[in-house]
């Protein structure tokens, strides 16, 4: 039980969710460590959504609305921390959801699927249909669903690793990352990088999708054209003095 007035309340609450996901077989050992790296950066950015992240969220919403076949890639940490928001976002953008694990085992893929179905997701790709391969990647990490990431034109990759992000960009997909580390390879390789904590960023992204849905295509394209990821990452680094 976390005391209501604890200064790190939200952070401790997320840890609890992650540990619960770990015990339920969704989160890997390495997933717990990756969360720690994220926490350190979140501490530095002040544990709140900063202005550059808001610009990235707006561009991400425009990109998702313009996409013909958007796919959200979900790993164990994402499922443990934010399954409900992922389900809601997929509905709002009419997008698909695919399980994509760095340390893939069939059992863990099925646990992630179970978590997503529990919050109302009808169809989860990447569990029994990961028959396509991302070129240039090796081992289990390259397996993707033909119907999902393989044919997607836009992929949202919350908490991705740099190699896979780079490979998706090379495949010609518009790539949107959510990553608290503005220096990571993922952050630097993605077309749009939201440097914010996952559970803070997703509700804001859903709100922005709802706001922008009424706008015409030209308006959305203009948002994307005027967005500069390198500049936004620079602003974020400046904020935390890196
Ligand atoms: P890269 O391969 O892109 O250089 P990395 O090796 O540092 O990155 P990984 O361990 O593959 O990263 O993935 C963890 C990444 O996810 C870290 O950059 C971390 O900052 C970020 N991260 C972890 N938890 C969260 C969270 N809850 N919200 C947003 N980002 C997070």
Query: What pTM, to 2 d.p., does this model score?
Result: 0.96
User: Does the residue 127 lie in any domain?
Assistant: yes
Q: Residue 223: in which H helix or E strand, if any?
A: helix 217-225
User: Does the residue 124 lie in any domain?
Assistant: yes
Ligand 1 atom closest to the CA of 181, numbered from 1 = 20
Q: Report the pLDDT averaged over residues 153-158.
A: 98
User: Does the residue 103 lie in any domain?
Assistant: yes
Q: Report the pLDDT averaged over residues 223-237.
A: 97
Residue 191 is given by DSSP the state: S
How far apart, in whole angstroms, are the C-alpha atoms of residue 140 and residue 206? 31
User: Does the residue 42 lie in any domain?
Assistant: no
Tell me the residue range of the domain where 195 lies: 51-241
Q: Which of 77, 100, 164, 181 to mutate to test the pocket of ligand 1 (most atoms within 8 A of CB)?
A: 181
User: Does the residue 21 lie in any domain?
Assistant: no
Q: How many domains does the chain have?
A: 1
Q: CA torsion angle for 132, 90, 41, 235 (degrees, to 10)?
A: 100
In this structure, what CATH number is given to the domain that contains residue 142?
A: 3.40.50.12640
With 90 as the cut, is the pLDDT of residue 137 above it?
A: no
Ligand 1 center to 193 CA (angstroms): 12
User: Does the residue 36 lie in any domain?
Assistant: no
Q: Is 143 exposed, middle or buried (0-12, 13-18, 19+ CB in 10 A)?
A: buried
- Residue 176 phi/psi, 5° resolution? -115, 120
178 lines ligand 1 (CB under 6 A): yes
User: Does the residue 3 lie in any domain?
Assistant: no
With 80 as the cut, is the pLDDT of residue 86 above it?
A: yes
CB 25 within 8 A of CB 107: yes
User: Does the residue 60 lie in any domain?
Assistant: yes
């Amino acid at each position: 039980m976390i005391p209501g007035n604890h200064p790190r309340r939200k952070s401790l609450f997320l840890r609890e969710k992650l540990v619960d996901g770990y015990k339920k077989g969704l989160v890997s050992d390495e997933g717990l460590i990756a969360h720690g790296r994220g926490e350190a950066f979140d501490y530095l950015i002040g544990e709140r959504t900063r202005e550059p992240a808001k610009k990235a969220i707006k561009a991400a919403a425009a990109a998702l609305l313009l996409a013909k076949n958007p796919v959200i890639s979900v790993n164990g940490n994402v499922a443990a921390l934010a399954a409900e928001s992922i389900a809601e976002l997929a509905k709002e953008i009419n997008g698909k959801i695919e399980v994509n694990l760095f340390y893939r085992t069939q059992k863990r893929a099925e646990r992630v699927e179970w978590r997503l179905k529990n919050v109302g997701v009808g169809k989860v790709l990447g569990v029994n249909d990961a028959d396509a391969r991302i070129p240039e990647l090796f081992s289990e990490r390259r397996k993707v669903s033909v119907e999902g990431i393989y044919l997607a034109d836009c992929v949202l990759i919350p908490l991705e690793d740099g190699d896979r992000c780079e490979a998706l960009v090379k495949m010609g997909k518009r790539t949107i990352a959510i990553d608290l580390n503005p220096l990571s390879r993922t952050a630097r390789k993605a077309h749009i990088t939201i440097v914010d904590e996952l559970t803070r960023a997703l509700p804001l992204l859903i709100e922005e999708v709802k706001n922008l849905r009424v706008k015409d295509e030209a308006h959305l394209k203009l948002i994307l054209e005027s967005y500069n990821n390198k500049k936004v990452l620079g602003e974020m680094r400046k904020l935390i003095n890196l």
